[in-house]
Structure formats: structure tokens, C-alpha cells
Amino acid sequence: MIVELGHFALVLAFAVAIFQMIVPMIGAQKNWSAWMAVASPAASVQFGLVAISFAALTYAFVTSDFSLNLVVANSHTDKPMLYKISGVWGNHEGSLLLWVLTLALFGASAAWFGGNLPPRLRARVLAVQSSVGVAFYAFILFTSNPFLRLEMPPFNGQDLNPLLQDPGLAFHPPFLYLGYVGLSMAFSFAVAALIEGRVDAAWARWVRPWTLAAWVFLTIGIGLGSWWAYYELGWGGFWFWDPVENASFMPWLIAAALLHSAIVVEKREALKSWTILLAILAFGFSLIGTFIVRSGIITSVHAFANDPERGMFILLILAVFMGGAFTLYALRAGAMEAKGVFSTVSRESGLVLNNLLLAVSSLVVFIGTIWPLVSEMFWDRTVSVGPPFFNAAFTPFAFAIAIALPIGAVLPWKRARLDRAVRAMSGVAALTLALFGFLYVFTTGNSLAGLITLALGVWLVAASAVDLWQRTGQGRDIGAKLARLTRLPRADWGKAIAHAGVGITFIGVGGLVTYQLEDIRVAQIGEEFDVGAYHLTLRDVREVQGPNYISTMAFIEVAQNGEILGVLNPEKRIYPVAGMPTTEAGIDSGFLRDVYVALGDPQLDGGWAVRTWIKPFANWIWGGTIIMSLGGFLSLSDRRYRVAAGAKREPSTAVGVPAE
Amino acid sequence: MKVVWIKAAVAALWLIATPAFAVQPDEVLADPALEARAREISAELRCVVCRNESIDESNATVARDLRLFVRERIMMGETNEQVMAEVVDRYGEYVLMRPPMSGSNLALWLAGPALFLIGIGVAAGFIRSRARITIPEEAALSAEEQAALKRILSEK
């Protein structure tokens, strides 16, 4: 009964979305205010209906309703509750339902918080947002319906893919989707502005928080995914340049470019048409990402044939929305002329360089990701494009961004002097070079590129601190400067913290790649061995029964300088129902290093294969993504957005916000 | 009865798949320098039956065979290039994780730098045009905006 209710709610949401797509758009065109005004309640109703539908599916999973095909294929009564819930989106149909739920949530948020948007723009934004919804509701209802019943319900389910039964991955998709789908907001604003034929500072001020929020969620989602890969896949890699990973990385890069170019539109009324283009591209990459993940086309051309209907449907959605948006762009972008004037050396130029590098690096990832397909289609040449390519082709752009970032970040608007900016950063540059030289001469690393990454990370973090400190003005009075530091707008803090977060991730990646130690051996029970400065003892290997798996668990003691740090429990698990083995690494996590142990096969002579790594700065990689997100949230909480949100009520006390 | 069945299933699974271990202890070469070379080559070669994994990361039997082959050839004194060439002879270009810079693949390799150069050109042209322009007159407010402005001013 509840399941039917959910199904019915989804169909109703589809109907509401069609209504919301058409009526407000006509209203905006004809200037009929009543027709425009229905957009907001429609968006709320649509969200309510999808939420009911999603709740119904969640209920079916929680109560293990095996009359539903989807629950049978992805759940089991023995599964822990957390994974019964995450099982809702751990599959194609459910994840698409989460997709439209997020889409409707963003649409409804625009209706709830967009009170001060011009009514016509709001009507158009909500109509465009809803048109995306219409496409995906149709996709779900016609090709991927999660509410299909079975005529003969089995007694139990087939369990969720064990790799997905993990806390990190339970929350990875929702964050990623908040990011992917959040970019639909930027897209809707861009298309609405093109229809309107007008982009101004106010428009950018509305678009930026949505983009920033989407970017923050993408950052968290990607960070969680990378962290999961690190501890779950068993060999401690943190990024594999897999098509599915790239699918989330491309929109992340474009979103980063977009939120910077929107600053230029907001403050200087320049880069308008470029910003619109980026907004369209960002969502385009989200759709492409969905297409890549859902059709399986990149992994193998043949996987596409397994499910041509779904693949074709998403491709069609992509073609309609991107084709439509680009056509509109070609017709209207010319009208968006720039107003702001700036000299060759200025913050504006710095941000143009930022945008260029981010856009090109994301296109490099894109071309590398689709190349196997293109090559096979046009030249009948089957090639593989793996990490060695991306490391070679992407890294130079990442380095260029890192080198230029601190200089660009301190350039003033309109007219700047490069020598002044360089002088401000000269101390930091000297420190960075000295550190690089010292490490290069006195340590043995695995990789020069890794060492450069590490040094650039230090450069970024130190430069962010200097940037903040410089904002406190001239003078020698430390107390006054510190007081001024606390009064800086949150956007400034957000900027410095997000940039430092990038640096911290650089340090993590560089440190790990350069100074990682590895040891592969056969260890007998009771055997002791050294890896780097650490002394390990294989105490025992036992079989342990889990809730829905059987584990072979090792007990490995880790000591340093005679002091026992703890016992690690790397495991090999078997999930009998799903029929799949997995590994769980044993990790002693630390601020400066991880000791990472994986258990292999029993050997003929009675020992066990044990693989040990010392991974310096590993946690800095994800720490950096957390700090980037924190910077984004701080910037989102800046006064001007709060002022914009509740414009009339805000008491105008004389707390001066420094004009920029 | 049920326990026995599970144990049998577990035993069978051990035989089929041993996940995520890749390089086995018995494969490792005694000389660390040669082993480092073997690892370097392994990271460049694709496990042909896997989903986008190099033989260095893969647990498949073919990957293990190829890792052993690579090490055997290294022990015979071949250079990295010779080993890779032999593997390509056997499995085709598909096995290379880094597509060779030749023929149509040039487009892949040059796309990034080319886009960057074009972008620099366009950006420089745009920035120069911005720098040269004299400040245009502010566009007049529309009637709607005039009304909004009046409303805001009168609120104070």
C-alpha cells in the first residue's frame, strides 16, 4: 500500500513538474503575474511529492519488502540498518530517485529563499529547473521504475554489493548528488538569463551562493569517495582516474571556475557571457557524469549494449538540454556586453587566468575519459587511457594553477602592480624554494613531481596566511591588526581557508606519493618485521563471524621505538549471500602518517601474505577537502548573502563592511 | 547443515577470488632496483580482463602472469622499452595505460596544450580590449527599475 502511494506520488510529481515547466514560462513571456506566481507553490508541492515517494521506497527497504524487485536485488534481512537505508540509493533506480529528490529540493529552495528575485526571473528559473525534472521523471517512470512489484516474492533478498556496505560510501552518493544537481540551479539561472537577455551584478549575486553550495557538496562527495577507495579497495590508492571518478571531477573543476568568474560578474560586470557558458558547461558535465556512470559506456563500449534504452534516454536528455542551451547561448550571448574596465595586470586578469587553467584542465580530463570511445568509433583503434596519461597531461595545469593562485589572489581589482604582489609573496616564495631544495638534496623520494606538489602545497598554505595578514593593513600595532583580522568579512576568511585547503590536499598528495614506503612479505604467526621506523608483529589470524559476512581477521601489533602503538586488524571478508569477497585494511591513522596493512592469502608453508605501507600525510588529502568545504561554508555565511536573503528586516547597524 | 554449506561456499570463494592483493610476495624480485623497474612497468600495463586496472593493482590471473613475464624479461637484462614492446606485440596497443603519442592519439595529447594556447590568445585579446576601452556611459535605468529605486529610497 505504502509502495503504491510512493509510486503514485512520483507520477503526480511528474505531472506537477510538467505544469511548473510550462505555465510560469508562458506567464513570464506574457507578463501575467498570476501565471508566474504558481511557480513557487508548484516547486514546493513537487518537492513534497518526491519526498513522499522517496520515503515510501526507504520504507520498503527498511521493512525488507521483498515483493519489490529492487529490494530483492539490493537488500537482505541480515543487513545492518544503515546499509538497508543506504541500499535505497546503492542501485540504479534508487539513485535516480535520489537525483530527482535533490533536484526538486533545489527547485523548492529557490522558491523558498528567492523571495527577493525579480518575479519574472524567478518564474523562468523555476520553469527551467522543472524542465530538467520532467526529463528525469520520464526517465525513471519509463525505463527505471523503482516501484516494480514481483508476482512471486522470494523469502529473502540478494544483498547489496558488499563493497558498498561501508559508512564512507553510504554517504558518498547523497553528497555527490547534492553537488551534481546543485549545478542545475546555475544552469537554470543561466538559461533564464539568456531568455531574459540580461545578466548583471545582481544575477551573479544570486547564482554564486548556489554554485558555491554545489561546489562544497561536490568537494565533500569526492573527498568521501576518495577516502573510501583508500581504505576499502585494499591498496591504499586515493585517486585512480577512473571514468566514474573523472565524472565527478570534471564538474568540480568547472564549478570552481564558475564560482570565480561569477565574482567578476558580481563585482566588475565583466566575463558575463563566459560565466553563462561555464554555468551551462558545469551542468552539462554533471549530465555527462550521470550518463557515464549509468550507462557504463566508457568502461566498455559493449556494456552500453546491455542497456541501450537507458543509455539512449540519458544521451537524449543531454542532447536536448545542452543543444537547447547552446543554441540559446549562440543567439543571445552577444547581448551580454561587459561593462567593467580593467588593466592588463589586475584581479580580473588573474581570475581570467584561473578560469582558463581550470577549464582547460577539466577538458583534458574530459578528452582523456572519452578518448577510448572516440578512438574506437573514428579510427577503429582500441586504446586505454589510464593514470599515466592523466598524471602526465593534467599535472602541468594543476602546477600552473598552484603557482599562480597566491599572486592572483592578492592583486587588487581594476589596476594592479605585479611587482607589488610578487614582493608581498617573496618571503613565502623563498621559504618554499628553500624547503624544496632541502628536501630534494637531503631526502630520497620516489617522485620529483610529488616533491614539487608537496612544495606547492606549502606555498599555497603559507601564501593564504600572508594574504589574510595583509588584509589587516599597514602599521606595526599587532593588537590592532589582530582585532582587524577578526572583523574581516567571512568571505575573506572563506577564500583564504579554501585556498589553504587546496594547499593541504597538495601536501597530502605530494607527501604520500614522494615518501610512501612499501613492504610485501610472507609472515608466519608470531613473526616480527620492520617497515621504515615501525616494528610489526603478526600475532594471530582468526575467523570472525560478522552480521552478514565471515571474516578472516589478522591481529598485527605495531610498535615504534619499543612503544606499542596498537593492534591492527586487516580482514578478508566473504559475503555468502552476495557471493563476494572484500578486504578491509588495518590502518593506524596519524597526523603525519598512516601505517596501512592489508592481509593476503594463506601460503602453503602456513604463513600469510602481508602487505604494509607507511603513507606519510595521507590524512591531509581528505583534511584538505574538509578545509576547502569549510572555507566554502564560511563564504556562504557572509553577511552580504544574509543581507540579500532578508533584505528588509536586517537592522542597518554601522558595522562597516569594507568595500572592495 | 547450514554451517557446513556456508563453509563449503567460503572455501570455494577463497579459490575463485582473492581480492585486492595484486603483487604477491613470491613475485617480488630480490634486487630492489630491478623490482622498482618491474613496478614501474606494471603501472603502465593494463590488465586486459579488468575494468580499468593496471596489472600492478589487479588480482586477476592474467595480470599475475603478465607481472611474472615482465620480471622474467627484466632478469634477462632487457630494458623497460624492450619489455613493453614485447607485451604490446602480444596484446596490442590496448594494453598500454599511456596511449602512445602517434597517429590519432596525437589529438589526445595535444588537445590540452592546444586549448591552453588558444585560450591564452583569446584571453589576452579580451583583456587588452578591456584595458583599452574608455569607460562607457552607464546605461539608463528602465522604468521598472526607476520605480524600484524610488520605493527603496522612500522606505528610509
Say which residue, A360 or B30, is predicted with more confidence.
Answer: A360
Give the three cell numbers for residue A380.
Answer: 577503429
Per-domain residue ranges for chain B? 2-95, 105-155
Q: Which residues are paired to B96 by β-bridges?
A: B45
Q: Looking at beta carbons, which residues of chain B come within 8 Å of A648? A: 155
Min distance A312 CA to chain B CA atoms (Å): 22
Min distance A357 CA to chain B CA atoms (Å): 7
pLDDT digits (tens, 9 = 90+) for A54-89: 999 999 999 988 888 888 888 888 888 888 888 888
Q: Do A383 and B111 touch (CB under 8 A)?
A: no
Return phi, psi of residue A473, to 5°: 90, -175
pLDDT digits (tens, 9 = 90+) for A490-500: 888 999 999 99
CB proximity A239 to B under 8 Å: no
Q: What is the mean pLDDT of residues A255-271?
A: 89
Q: Looking at beta carbons, which residues of chain A come within 8 Å of B80? A: none
Give the rounded percent of residues in chain A with a pLDDT score beyond 70.
94
Q: Do A338 and B6 touch (CB under 8 A)?
A: no
Nearest to residue A449, comparing CAs of A512, A514, A387, A365? Answer: A514
Average pLDDT over chain B reads: 80
Confidence (pLDDT) at A653 = 41
How far is Cα A515 from Cα A375, in angstroms, rounded to an integer? Answer: 37
CA dihedral over A54, A60, A64, A69, signed as positive or negative: negative
pLDDT higher than threshold 90 for residue A132: yes
Q: Looking at beta carbons, which residues of chain B come within 8 Å of A341? A: 130-131, 133-135
**Per-residue confidence at A92, pLDDT binned at 50, 70, 90?**
confident
Q: What is the mean pLDDT of residues A207-223?
A: 93
Distances (CA, A) of B85 to A385, B70, B75: 18, 11, 16
Count Cβ atoms below 10 Å from residue A86 Cβ, excluding itself. Answer: 24
What are the percentages of helix, strand and coil residues in chain B, rounded to 5? 65, 5, 30
Give the three cell numbers for residue A33.
Answer: 503575474
Min distance B36 CA to chain A CA atoms (Å): 10
Min distance B98 CA to chain A CA atoms (Å): 5
**Per-residue confidence at B138, pLDDT binned at 50, 70, 90?**
low
Residue A371 CB partners (closer than 8 Å, separation 6+): A383, A385, B99, B105, B108
Q: Do A384 and B96 touch (CB under 8 A)?
A: yes
Return phi, psi of residue A256, to 5°: -60, -45
CB proximity B49 to A under 8 Å: no
Q: Do A240 and B13 touch (CB under 8 A)?
A: no
Min distance B24 CA to chain A CA atoms (Å): 7
Interface of A with B in 571-590 (CB under 8 A): 572, 574, 576, 579-583
CA atoms within 13 A on the CB side of A504: 22
Q: Looking at beta carbons, which residues of chain A come within 8 Å of B112? A: 360-361, 363-364, 367, 393-394, 397
C-alpha angle A176-A181-A185 in degrees, rounded to nearest 5:
140
Count Cβ atoms below 10 Å from residue A542 Cβ, excluding itself. Answer: 11
pLDDT higher than threshold 80 for residue A25: yes
Distances (CA, A) of A487 to A484, A490, A614, B79: 5, 8, 42, 62
Q: What is the DSSP string of A453-498?
A: HHHHHHHHHHHHHHHHHHTT-SSS-HHHHHHHHHHS-HHHHHHHHH
**Per-residue confidence at A483, pLDDT binned at 50, 70, 90?**
confident
Confidence (pLDDT) at A295 = 64
Q: What is the mean pLDDT of residues A627-655?
A: 67
CB proximity A404 to B under 8 Å: no
Report the residue from A381, A389, A397 with minimal CB separation from B98. Answer: A389
Q: Do B115 and A360 touch (CB under 8 A)?
A: yes
Q: Looking at beta carbons, which residues of chain B come within 8 Å of A375? A: 99, 104-105, 108
Min distance B128 CA to chain A CA atoms (Å): 6
Q: Do B130 and A270 touch (CB under 8 A)?
A: yes
Asked if A342 contacts A411 with a C-beta cutoff of 8 angstroms, the reply is no
Q: What is the mean pLDDT of residues A23-45?
A: 90
C-alpha angle A647-A649-A655 in degrees, rounded to nearest 5:
80
How far is Cα A630 from Cα A637, in angstroms, rounded to an integer? Answer: 11
Give the three cell numbers for residue A237.
Answer: 590508492
pLDDT digits (tens, 9 = 90+) for A565-623: 999 999 988 888 777 778 888 999 989 999 999 998 888 888 898 999 999 999 999 99
H helix runs in B76-104, sequence order: 80-91
pLDDT higher than threshold 60 for residue A361: yes
Report which DSSP code applies to A197: T
Q: Do B19 and A601 touch (CB under 8 A)?
A: no
How far is Cα A186 from Cα A277, in angstroms, rounded to an integer? Answer: 10
Do the strands A580-584 and A563-568 form a parallel or antiparallel pair, or are they unpaired?
Answer: unpaired
pLDDT digits (tens, 9 = 90+) for A133-171: 999 999 999 988 989 888 888 888 877 777 777 777 788
Nearest to residue A559, comparing CAs of A583, A589, A529? Answer: A529
Distance of CA A577 to the CA centre of its chain: 32
Q: Do B24 and A382 touch (CB under 8 A)?
A: no
Asked if A179 contacts A211 with a C-beta cutoff of 8 angstroms, the reply is no
Min distance B74 CA to chain A CA atoms (Å): 19
Average pLDDT over chain A reads: 86
C-alpha angle A575-A577-A583 in degrees, rounded to nearest 5:
15
How far is Cα B76 from Cα A453, in angstroms, rounded to an integer? Answer: 36
Give the rounded percent of residues in chain A with a pLDDT score beyond 90.
46
Report the residue from B17, B111, B155 with minimal CB separation from A367. Answer: B111
Confidence (pLDDT) at B21 = 63
Give the three cell numbers for residue B6.
Answer: 556456508
- The single-letter code of the amino acid at A607 is G
Say which residue, B152 or A627, is predicted with more confidence.
Answer: A627
Q: Do B20 and A353 touch (CB under 8 A)?
A: no
Q: Dihedral angle at the C-alpha atoms of B110, B111, B114, B118, nearest 10 degrees?
A: 180
CATH of domain B2-95: 1.10.8.640
CB proximity B135 to A under 8 Å: yes
How far is Cα A35 from Cα A55, in angstroms, rounded to an integer? Answer: 31
Q: Do B98 and A521 touch (CB under 8 A)?
A: no
Confidence (pLDDT) at A47 = 96
Q: Which of B104, B122, B130 is the mutation pick for testing A, counting most A CBs within 10 A?
A: B130
Report the residue from B19, B128, B136 with minimal CB separation from A583. Answer: B19
pLDDT digits (tens, 9 = 90+) for A160-204: 777 777 777 788 888 988 898 899 999 999 999 999 888 888 888
Q: Please give the helix or strand (H or E) that residue A554 lies within, else none.
A: strand A550-560
pLDDT higher than threshold 50 for residue A646: no
CB proximity B13 to A under 8 Å: yes
How far is Cα B46 from Cα B61, in angstroms, rounded to an integer? Answer: 13
Q: Looking at beta carbons, which residues of chain B come within 8 Å of A349? A: 127
Confidence (pLDDT) at A308 = 66
Report the residue from B17, B93, B127 with minimal CB separation from A383. Answer: B93
Q: Do B18 and A383 touch (CB under 8 A)?
A: no
Give the three cell numbers for residue A283.
Answer: 551542468
In chain A, which residue's Cα lies nearest the Cα of B39? A518
Q: Which residue is listed with cell 537482505? A: A76
Q: Do B97 and A237 touch (CB under 8 A)?
A: no
**Per-residue confidence at B15, pLDDT binned at 50, 70, 90?**
very low
Q: What ipTM, to 2 d.p.?
A: 0.83
Q: Which of A383, A414, A516, A521 is the mutation pick for testing B, counting most B CBs within 10 A?
A: A383
Asked if A110 contacts A185 with a C-beta cutoff of 8 angstroms, the reply is yes
Interface of B with A in 68-87 (CB under 8 A): none
pLDDT digits (tens, 9 = 90+) for A413-446: 887 788 888 888 888 899 999 999 999 988 888 8
**Per-residue confidence at A296, pLDDT binned at 50, 70, 90?**
low
Return phi, psi of residue A563, to 5°: -105, 130
Report the residue from A384, A576, A582 with minimal CB separation from B10. Answer: A576
